[in-house]
Amino acid sequence: MKKLTYRAERAQDHEAPVVVLADEDHGVEVRILPSGGNRAYSMTVHGENILHFPSQNPATIRTSRGLDGIPFLAPWANRMPGGFHANGQHYAFNMESGTVRLDGNGIPIHGLLTAFPGWEVKELTAGKDFARVTSRLEFWRYPQLMANWPFAHEYEMTYRLAGGVLEVHLAVLNRSMDPMPIAVGFHPYFVLPGVPVTEATATVPVRSHVDADSRLLPTGETSPIAFTNPVSLGDHRFDDGFTDLVRDSSGHARFSVEGRGKKIEVIYGPKYPVAIIYAPPGQNYICFEPMAALTNGVNLAHEGKYSGLQMVKPGEKWEESFWVRTEGI
């Protein structure tokens, strides 16, 4: 009988209860904190963590305002000022609920769930070809969440490790009586071990730049990109949104960062039509962020400035994946 080379198990990390997925053949281990927004905070490849996570203790996810690892941004990603419009109604945010994060301009940002503790592990299993954990958040159970996004719905997130590749699969089930906008996203922070980001290059397979104002809110206009691939991260830093992704025959868009023979590739599924790239000056990471909608896309759609907003009908499910793979690490 072939020895199982995949593991899926519960563990303690600095007294925080975590889930560990391991692919021993490829030297990959992923660690997730379900009680901290179900965030993956470590993806080690031959002992090197390719996720930016500056703390030694995963429990800091619950209390830190900063983001790291692979945060989940929902029910909306990025910035959305003044509440939102949906199905002909306007919903104002309840700023006294304690669940809304604000950016430096006082704009609600990154939704309600970046460190929310309500996730429950529903399945944890390893087979001869994979290790997998599926967790669920029943959003509708929490009044403090419903106060700011009054659609009864739930999330199911699966981390699956196979062949050295991590898949992050998300399913959103709408249990409400009205269609629900899909504006979710992820904000993964990547580092090339031992390689300064300024010595790396990035491949950003996009055709259009999302024009934004001084608050980083899209105007509804786009423009041609101002770089060629691959782009030097020593000469060009990013805090930008992009659309018109270049896709292969399977509908996947492949983003990557590489240097000194090491490479991290992030692959977006077809239902992630927007990419935010974040590689700010003075930081040694790059974020390839898969997004289901433009920043503030729910309101831009209401204003007639955005035609790409996805909706999930009552009783139906929206789902999509992105993948992370490495070379040379």
Residue 260: give its domain's CATH number: 2.70.98.10
Q: Is residue 240 part of a domain?
A: yes
Average pLDDT over residues 298-323: 98
Q: Is residue 213 part of a domain?
A: yes
pLDDT tens across 233-256, in order? Answer: 999 999 999 999 999 999 999 999
- Alpha carbon distance 244, 115 (integer Å): 31
Q: Is the predicted pLDDT of residue 4 greater than 70, yes or no?
A: no
Cβ–Cβ under 8 Å, residues 287 and 188? yes
Q: Is residue 52 part of a domain?
A: yes
Q: Is the predicted pLDDT of residue 2 greater than 60, yes or no?
A: no
pLDDT at 97: 87
Q: Is the predicted pLDDT of residue 120 greater than 70, yes or no?
A: yes
- Alpha carbon distance 265, 11 (integer Å): 28
Q: Is residue 1 part of a domain?
A: no
Q: Is residue 207 part of a domain?
A: yes
First-residue to last-residue Cα distance in the chain: 30
Domain of 111, in residue numbers: 6-327
Q: Is residue 80 part of a domain?
A: yes
pLDDT-above-90 percentage for the chain: 96
Question: Is the bond into 230 cis (omega within 30 degrees of 0)?
Answer: yes
pLDDT at 3: 64
Question: Is the bond into 75 cis (omega within 30 degrees of 0)?
Answer: yes
- Alpha carbon distance 11, 61 (integer Å): 17
94 pLDDT tier (thresholds 50, 70, 90) = very high
pLDDT at 65: 86
Average pLDDT over residues 70-84: 96
Q: Is the predicted pLDDT of residue 1 greater than 70, yes or no?
A: no
pLDDT tens across 169-226, in order? Answer: 999 999 999 999 999 999 999 999 999 999 999 999 999 999 999 999 999 999 999 9
Q: Is residue 70 part of a domain?
A: yes
pLDDT at 266: 98
96 pLDDT tier (thresholds 50, 70, 90) = confident
Average pLDDT over residues 69-74: 98
**Of 131, 196, 218, 136, whose CA–CA distance to 167 is shortest?**
131
Q: What's the structural domain count of the chain?
A: 1
The mean pLDDT value of the chain amounts to 96
pLDDT tens across 140-179, in order? Answer: 999 999 999 999 999 999 999 999 999 999 999 999 999 9
Q: How far is residue 249 from each of residues 22, 163, 268, 269, measured CA to CA in Å?
A: 30, 22, 13, 12
Please give the model's pTM, rounded to 2 decimal places.
0.97
Q: Is residue 158 part of a domain?
A: yes
